[in-house]
Structure 1
């Protein structure tokens, strides 16, 4: 990745005139990240180019999280007009790679990530928009807008939304009394901060946070689109969350509803990333996401949605169905 043209002047003005700018990561959005290195110190440069991206929600949520004692990156400098933000560097120990390299640590690290959510959910939500009916339905519609045409399917999109509307209705009031929902809380956005032993977990990629139901981020973590979470570990971590947070009798139903809702959205997003944005690597995740989705759809609360899927998307058009149309 080539750094943005304004990066050198921005860093000089921020007191980093001699910094090396090294590629670090990109993601599914227009945001890019670079590591900024000078002798004895380093930071991360976020490139969130307008008009596609706006770093202000990131800064707002980061301030909320750090104010509550959680580890979001500190902001070292920002030029909002250029979409450049210099933030604290949490190092290279990302949860995904750590647990893949040391499977014996998996359960312990996931337990820490679940405890962080339980601690966050003891606080009222940040001053954020709510996860409303309109937002839930807009997200699930991504499946019929992007995946179904890509799979060569003509489906009943109106009946699809009606089925979801009926199933999700019990959740529609939760935004008003909700918690901060980070929305992409999974193993590639959680850092094990170097030098902290079994201590702090660093949080990343929360600029799209909303106020909503506490089950949502658990779904993000335990039905991870990018890595397999064994069903036994998922069950163990849900029990761990229940013991920590006592979320109520309807929590398991909400978890299934939001699992299905999130996974349907991701199926649509990954199809869009391929068809619109030229990123075919996301197709490799679809079999995993479809497996989560089908498991969630087996819950009785999702019966109307499951019936729609059975009537509109045959088994051979699920899972890995799009791979044949992608370039090698």
Structure 2
């Protein structure tokens, strides 16, 4: 892939550094070509500062040290090979070790001979009039990421934010990523980068997993659910600009204060979130929502097929990792039978708009506001029409932080009290549905977190497994789940295990 951009001034070079910094992963190499004074050092400095999130970071030239390393979001190693007398000296500089730890930025790469990896991106800077022309040649995943980052900049330009500063915000377990973009005195905004979902191979009845589980395939779902929630008096981000086809949204930044306090759950905040859910569950929600002229989003149902394929992740990934073997046909048949019985019970449960991941990473606490406006809700594109109890279980058994039993109980009490006050609420039926949905969700999450490690190379998720097992045991304590509890116990699915 070939890219070309004119840099009229130093600020344009800084923006290019930000654009490139957002593409880097461990093992990537950017080879900087250009004459003395072409702007290589300026570009390198802006890229390193962008990775560090520090516009004032001291970035000395490595002309004499030959390499400078920075412990940034992606560790970056800045090489200047001008004084190398032989490409073999790269070994003394620890070049290969540097690529195992992070990414490399290489000035005077011609001194490396053929030692740079084939996937290294070539970046050439040449003078052109009062500015610089940059030509970039890149292939493979790095080239694709550079192309995506440049497309992001073009989206911002079309939205009137082309000169905004971009910085990494957060990523998640999906292909989505988020940035903070800042422009002058304007309040910062969030850039949502969500390319169309790539459907995997068929796994059942000729359908990919994402189709059966009703995973959102484009940003149209986010736009639709955002509109419905806003109309329903839920605080969600304003959408300032959108490109549905490309998968870009420029949205309001609801605030920087997380839902947790010093990384710990706060009972009052969880109760407030439960009361927000109670308000939402007292409303009727549309299942067909206009997105833009000619585009309508249909909110899928959380049907039995979706529930089953999710919960079977426990067998496919978690059981396989713990037992060291794949589940046999008898185990799988017994598993499906006991879950089908429970899904039959949940068929009778109250249904509503189900946000699916209603937990601390997706809730912004706005302590200066009042009422439900204290809670800003994000990341709801996978919403379905399903059991009201599901989101309560997602909140009270928060997958990303350990919720003590007493806070779980007070969260449930707050929800039940709010629903009961509104009238027409069956607390016993809800409590049973809560236990079933909590068991379904936590079974699924055990499988997902192992899959993220084994398939996607994200081992950090394994640290959450003890918490999820504990949540699962809590859910299985309900009398309605006695058969499932016995089945899980017989097959070691709730025992502590190392993976």
TM-score normalised to structure 2 length: 0.60
Which residue of structure 1 lines up, in the alignment, with residue 28 of structure 2? none
1:259, distance to aligned residue in structure 2 (A): 0.7
1:109, distance to aligned residue in structure 2 (A): 1.3
Which residue of structure 2 lines up, in the alignment, with residue 20 of structure 1? 165
For 1:290 and 1:138, the matched residues in 2 are separated by 19
Does residue 107 (structure 1) correspond to residue 267 (structure 2)? The answer is yes
Does residue 254 (structure 1) correspond to residue 406 (structure 2)? The answer is no
* Bigger Rg, structure 1 or 2: 2
1:193, distance to aligned residue in structure 2 (A): 3.2
Preserved CA contact (<8 Å) 2:273 2:375 = yes
* 19 and 320 in structure 1: CA distance in 2 versus 1, 3 angstrom threshold: farther
1:197, distance to aligned residue in structure 2 (A): 6.1
Give deviations 1:126-157, integer Å, cap 9, x for gaps: 31221111111111111111111122144311
Q: Secondary structure at the match of 2:390?
A: helix
Kindly tell me the number of residue pairs found equivalent between the two proteins: 314
For 2:400 and 2:285, the matched residues in 1 are separated by 27
Among 108, 119, 124, the alignment partner of 2:279 is 119
Q: Secondary structure at the match of 1:95?
A: coil
Which residue of structure 1 lines up, in the alignment, with residue 242 of structure 2? 78
Preserved CA contact (<8 Å) 1:186 1:220 = yes
Does residue 148 (structure 1) correspond to residue 331 (structure 2)? The answer is no
What is the correspondence of 1:12-51 to structure 2 with a 5 Å cutoff? 12-41=157-186, 42-51=188-197
Among 43, 62, 72, the alignment partner of 2:226 is 62
Greater CA drift, 226-235 or 294-303: 294-303
Which residue of structure 1 lines up, in the alignment, with residue 335 of structure 2? 160
For 1:110 and 1:165, the matched residues in 2 are separated by 31
Preserved CA contact (<8 Å) 1:286 1:319 = no
For 1:281 and 1:251, the matched residues in 2 are separated by 34
For 1:122 and 1:295, the matched residues in 2 are separated by 27
Preserved CA contact (<8 Å) 2:307 2:440 = yes
Which residue of structure 1 lines up, in the alignment, with residue 382 of structure 2? 208
More strand by share: 2
Q: Secondary structure at the match of 1:6?
A: helix
* 232 and 194 in structure 1: CA distance in 2 versus 1, 3 angstrom threshold: closer
**What's the C-alpha RMSD, in Å, of the aligned pairs?**
1.8
1:79, distance to aligned residue in structure 2 (A): 1.1
Which residue of structure 1 lines up, in the alignment, with residue 483 of structure 2? 304
1:173, distance to aligned residue in structure 2 (A): 4.2
For 1:297 and 1:51, the matched residues in 2 are separated by 34
Q: Secondary structure at the match of 2:361?
A: coil
For 1:82 and 1:282, the matched residues in 2 are separated by 29
Q: Secondary structure at the match of 1:290?
A: helix
More helix by share: 1
> Does 1 or 2 have the higher relative contact order (CA < 8 Å, sep 6+)?
1
Preserved CA contact (<8 Å) 1:8 1:17 = yes
1:168, distance to aligned residue in structure 2 (A): 2.5
For 1:279 and 1:233, the matched residues in 2 are separated by 30
Preserved CA contact (<8 Å) 1:65 1:71 = yes
For 1:286 and 1:265, the matched residues in 2 are separated by 12
1:196, distance to aligned residue in structure 2 (A): 2.6
For 1:91 and 1:115, the matched residues in 2 are separated by 21
Preserved CA contact (<8 Å) 1:126 1:179 = no
Greater CA drift, 226-235 or 146-155: 146-155
1:99, distance to aligned residue in structure 2 (A): 5.7
For 2:174 and 2:376, the matched residues in 1 are separated by 21
1:23, distance to aligned residue in structure 2 (A): 0.2
1:195, distance to aligned residue in structure 2 (A): 4.6
Listed as ranges, the gaps of 5+ residues in structure 1 are 323-328
For 1:171 and 1:67, the matched residues in 2 are separated by 28
For 2:380 and 2:465, the matched residues in 1 are separated by 23
TM-score normalised to structure 1 length: 0.91
